[in-house]
């Protein structure tokens, strides 16, 4: 069994590629969608080259693994993001 290790404060990530963030150079990010509808979460390199995306339904939480320099953004609504780690 693992425990979640919070590495930063949770913040609201506003919709739009212009609001992309590394989430404090996180390699693991907990994303919570309580926007009232589905959103698309996307990843891009530090050079702004998109390489992955997924749809998140309303009232769901996912953990995304990425490189510390990769940017995360959301389209369709605001989500909450926080840098995390796992401990035993």
The hierarchical CATH code for the domain 3-87 is 2.60.120
The predicted model scores a pTM of 0.93
Regions of the chain where pLDDT drops below 50? none
> DSSP secondary structure string, 14-80?
-SSGGG-B-TTT-SEEEEEE-SSS-EEEEEE-TT--EEEEEEE-TTEEEEEE--TT-EEEEESS-EE
What pLDDT sits at residue 76?
97
Q: Which residues contact 58 (CB under 8 A, 6 or more apart)?
A: 33, 34, 35, 36, 37, 38
What pLDDT sits at residue 66?
97
């Amino acid at each position: 069994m693992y425990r979640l290790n919070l590495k930063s404060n949770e913040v609201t990530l506003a919709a739009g590629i212009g609001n992309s963030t590394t989430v404090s150079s996180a390699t693991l990010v907990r994303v919570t969608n309580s926007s009232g509808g589905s959103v698309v979460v996307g990843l891009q390199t530090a050079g702004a080259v998109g390489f992955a995306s997924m749809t998140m339904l309303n009232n769901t939480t996912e953990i995304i693994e990425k490189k510390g320099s990769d940017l995360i953004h959301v389209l369709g609504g605001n989500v909450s993001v926080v840098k995390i780690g796992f401990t035993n």
